Amino acid sequence: MSIENRAKATAKNIEGKIQEVVGEVTGDPKDKAEGKAKQGEAKVRHTTEDVKDEVKKAID
């Protein structure tokens, strides 16, 4: 498990949530969509780290 990668994914998720809310408040669909995309990217990063953890457990 890479704590650094998980921290980056969490930061990306928070950034995406903020951007999505800004898009909702300002009525900017582009910001809202980009925010959701960043959250999706963060989810993929977390899933990747979960898979890495499981593989490491299986090897050990």
> What's the pTM value of the predicted model, to 2 decimals?
0.84
Mean pLDDT taken over the chain: 94
Count of domains observed in the chain:
1
pLDDT of residue 17: 98
Region 30-57 average pLDDT: 95
The domain in which residue 43 lies consists of 3-59
Region 10-19 average pLDDT: 97
Q: Which two tokens stand for residue 49?
A: 């780290």
Percent of the chain with pLDDT over 70: 98
* Chain center to CA of 21: 16
